[in-house]
């Protein structure tokens, strides 16, 4: 019988312990190593040469995406990558797929399902090059109406070809799904998250959003403010956080989500 080696990268030692127990009980896999941060993960993965790397999308040090890129760049034998996440964000899932993640599991899930997915990958039950998504009760997941958000940004005078348009759209979608993001601070939390999704830097996100807001401010007449927001919202160009808060409030109103 073939045994497949698994390496786990997760900041939560309890999750590592629980998953290890399931691996030991399964009989088809062996745990070849673990790491609780990105600094240790890369070197250990190179040494142990696992068949699968199961990693959390958020870990201390180099993040999951940095780990995957480094392994793919420096290893001859590339493992299959399985990502665990609390996020439902479609952009994050698409980005994970683009850099080689085979399966994306959204909490809560059963660790036995993760192992079943691995066996399916080894038995070619899933299409190579695609990221398979597993989410319990996925029919309950509320997806923001991205079309409404896009229309609003276009009415505000922000063209689609601006990078700030994409970053603003992602920011609004994230904030609708998690209202506490703005409370946690756009510089310390929102910009880094958007940057990770779009494979760029926080500074680029902040600058591009500011440029997009400037474009809106220059292109929009006072009557446009009244039509979109019901009032002329500022006498001078709003800050990034002011603009995001206002657009988010309007987006939530349009899709009947309580503020």
82 and 193 share one domain: no
Please tell me the distance from the alpha carbon of residue 36 to that of residue 44, in angstroms, as a whole number: 11
In CATH, what number is assigned to the domain containing residue 83? 3.40.50.2300
187 and 114 share one domain: no
Domain boundary among 80, 111, 140: 140
113 and 36 share one domain: yes
pLDDT for 61: 79
28 and 118 share one domain: yes
Burial class for 259, CB neighbours closer than 10 Å (0-12, 13-18, 19+): exposed
Query: Comparing C-alpha atoms, which of 32, 5, 251, 31 is closest to residue 146?
Result: 251
109 and 226 share one domain: no
For the chain, 259 residues long, give each residue's pLDDT as a single digit of tens: 678 999 999 988 888 999 999 999 998 999 999 998 888 899 999 999 999 999 998 888 788 888 999 999 888 789 999 999 887 777 788 888 888 899 999 887 889 999 998 988 887 655 445 566 666 544 334 344 556 777 778 777 788 778 898 899 888 888 877 777 777 778 888 898 888 888 889 999 999 999 998 888 777 655 555 555 544 455 667 788 888 887 777 766 665 543 3
* Tokens of residue 227, six digits: 């039509």
10 and 112 share one domain: yes
pLDDT for 97: 87
Domain boundary among 140, 160, 186: 140
134 and 36 share one domain: yes
Q: Which domain holds residue 199?
A: 146-254
Assess if residue 250 is contained within a domain. yes
Query: Given strand 29-35, what is the order of strands in its sheet?
Result: 29-35, 4-9, 52-56, 80-85, 101-106, 132-135
- Long-range Cβ pairs for the range 135-144 (8 Å, 24+): 135/88, 135/105, 135/106, 135/109, 136/106, 136/108, 136/109, 141/88, 142/177, 143/90, 144/172, 144/173, 144/176, 144/177, 144/251, 144/255
Assess if residue 65 is contained within a domain. yes
**Residue 64's CB: how many other CB atoms inside 10 A?**
25
Domain boundary among 112, 140, 168: 140
99 and 19 share one domain: yes
* Tokens of residue 122, six digits: 């080894």
Assess if residue 229 is contained within a domain. yes
Instruction: Give residue for tokens 């603009």.
Output: 243
Please tell me the distance from the alpha carbon of residue 160 to that of residue 179, in angstroms, as a whole number: 25
133 and 151 share one domain: no
74 and 169 share one domain: no
Structural domain total, the chain: 2
155 and 125 share one domain: no
Please tell me the distance from the alpha carbon of residue 227 to that of residue 231, in angstroms, as a whole number: 8
50 and 116 share one domain: yes
Please tell me the distance from the alpha carbon of residue 204 to that of residue 216, in angstroms, as a whole number: 18
Assess if residue 259 is contained within a domain. no
């Amino acid at each position: 019988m073939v045994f497949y080696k698994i390496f786990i990268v997760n900041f939560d030692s309890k999750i590592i312990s629980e998953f290890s127990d399931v691996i030991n009980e399964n009989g088809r896999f062996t745990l070849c190593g673990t790491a609780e941060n990105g600094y240790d993960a890369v070197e250990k993965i190179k040494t142990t040469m696992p068949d699968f790397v199961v990693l959390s999308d958020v870990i201390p040090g180099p993040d999951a995406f940095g780990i995957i890129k480094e392994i793919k760049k420096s290893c001859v034998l590339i493992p299959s990558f399985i990502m665990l996440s609390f996020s439902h964000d479609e952009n994050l899932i698409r980005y994970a797929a683009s850099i080689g993640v085979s399966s994306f599991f959204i909490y809560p899930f059963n660790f036995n399902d993760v192992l079943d997915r691995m066996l399916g990958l080894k038995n070619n039950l899933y299409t190579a090059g695609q990221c398979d998504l597993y989410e319990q009760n996925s029919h309950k997941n509320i997806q923001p109406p991205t079309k409404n958000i896009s229309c609003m940004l276009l009415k505000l005078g922000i063209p689609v070809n601006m990078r700030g348009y994409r970053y603003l759209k992602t920011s609004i979608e994230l904030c609708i799904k998690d209202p506490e993001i703005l409370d946690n601070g756009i510089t310390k939390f929102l910009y880094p998250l958007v940057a990770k999704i779009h494979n760029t830097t926080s500074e680029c996100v902040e600058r591009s959003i500011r440029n997009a807001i400037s474009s809106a401010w220059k292109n929009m007449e006072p009557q446009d403010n009244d039509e979109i927001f019901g009032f002329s919202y500022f006498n001078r160009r709003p800050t990034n956080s002011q603009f995001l808060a206002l657009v988010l409030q309007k987006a939530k109103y349009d899709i009947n989500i309580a503020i």
